[in-house]
Structure formats: C-alpha cells, structure tokens
Amino acid sequence: MKIGIASDHRGVKLKKEIIHYLEEQGHEVVNYGTNSTDSVDYPDYAFRLCDAVLDGTVERGIVICYTGIGMCMACNKVEGIRCAKVENREEATMTRLHNDANVMALRATMPEKTMKEIVDAFINTPFSNEERHLKRIAKLESHHAH
C-alpha cells in the first residue's frame, strides 16, 4: 500500500519510526514533512497530506503532532477526508470498519509497541461496506453548515 505521512515539529521522531516500520513491511511511504524540529504550523502539513489522499497519490494518510488533536482537526476541515485521532488498536480497527477513515492522527508521545499495533490495524482493516455505515458516512459527507 502507498501511505502518506506528515507531522509537525513535535512529531518528527515518531514519524521516522513509522516510516521505517512501514517500509520494513514493504509499503511505499511518502513523507509530506516537516523534517525538522524547528517550530512549524501543523495545518500546512495536514493539508498537504490530505490533498495527496484526495487526488489518489496515496491510499491512506497518517498525521502526527504533540497530541494528535490539532492535526486531526485540520484534516477534518478538508472535504472528503475522514480523520480519526486514535489511541489503541481497537479504535484504529473500528474507525476503518465503521467510518472508512482515510487518515489517522497520532500523538507524538505514543509508545513504539502501541504505534505498531495501531498502524497495523489502520493499514490492514478493510471498510465493512455495510449499509448502515455507508448511510452514516454519506451524512458526514453531505452536511453543510446553515
């Protein structure tokens, strides 16, 4: 699978670990920055990754910042992106099965063992394609503020 990854300055270390882990498994990884620990604005990198997911350059995306929350919020501002901030394997599995999440947000301080379990679940879990979930996702995609 071709996977995009992006982080802010706080997520660079974990991002390098994830890239190495995914490449070890034979995945192709595209790094959308940043690659420095100098302070940056996370939305710039979130939006770059989201554009790549939407145009099909990568199949799924992973974003990382200190808490994962800022990156998740930025990604979910992009129409067509469904990003979940996850903390464990079960959340990663369920967001793929039920929400067909195409981007996952992680916190920079995540332990390596947990990261591997989460990444495996996010990459290897297919969307269930069940009618009830398709209906709910359609509602997410079609809502516009009044």
Q: What is the residue whose two structure tokens read 């996850």?
A: 86
CA distances from 39 to 15, 62, 65, 74 (A): 16, 20, 11, 17
Cα 75 from Cα 22, distance rounded (Å)? 21
**98 belongs to the catalytic site:** yes
Residue 50 and residue 38 in contact, taking contact as beta carbons nearer than 8 Å: no
Residue 31 and residue 12 in contact, taking contact as beta carbons nearer than 8 Å: no
Cα 111 from Cα 2, distance rounded (Å)? 24
From 9, 27, 98, 133, the catalytic residue: 98
DSSP 3-state assignment of 83? strand
Beta carbons within 10 angstroms of residue 137's beta carbon: 16
Q: What is the residue whose two structure tokens read 């929400």?
A: 99
Residues serving a catalytic function are 98
